[in-house]
């Protein structure tokens, strides 16, 4: 997975930096997720009614953004709208989602009574 470019709802002008209307995030690494102790920015939890809900940890989202924003720089995003902050959150969460569908071929998990692999039906 490569970097993600998040298009914002409008152009922002911050003194001392070129105006921007997008934020570029690099892909998180093993060190970002595990070695730093950040873990996941969101997780699914049961809601007590037989269903579930996604819980977002704002402090974890922010810690990731501090590490992952390539441009315009984390220090320049404090004035963006809450809506655009939500766009950054959604893009960040997307890094942690498994792709849908599988490209792997099915594996035969059958075995003979002695534990040996089952014979192919050829």
pTM: 0.78
Domain ranges of the chain: 3-44+54-94
What's the confidence (pLDDT) of residue 111? 55
Positions of E strands within the chain: 4-12, 20-25, 42-46, 52-56, 69-71
DSSP 71-91: ES-GGG-TTS-HHHHHHHHHH
pLDDT tens-digit map of 20-60: 999 999 999 999 999 999 999 999 999 988 999 999 999 99
What's the pLDDT at 23?
A: 99
């Amino acid at each position: 997975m490569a970097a993600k470019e998040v298009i914002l709802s409008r152009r922002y002008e911050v003194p001392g930096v070129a105006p921007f209307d997008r934020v570029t995030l690099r892909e998180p690494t093993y060190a970002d997720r595990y070695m730093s102790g950040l873990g996941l920015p969101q997780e699914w939890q049961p809601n007590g009614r037989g269903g579930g809900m996604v819980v977002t940890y704002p402090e974890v989202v922010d810690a990731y953004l501090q590490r992952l924003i390539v441009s315009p720089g984390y220090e320049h995003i404090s004035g963006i709208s809450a809506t655009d902050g939500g766009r950054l959150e959604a893009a960040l969460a997307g890094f942690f989602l498994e792709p849908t569908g599988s490209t792997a071929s099915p594996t035969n998990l059958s075995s003979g009574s002695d534990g040996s692999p089952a014979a192919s039906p050829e």
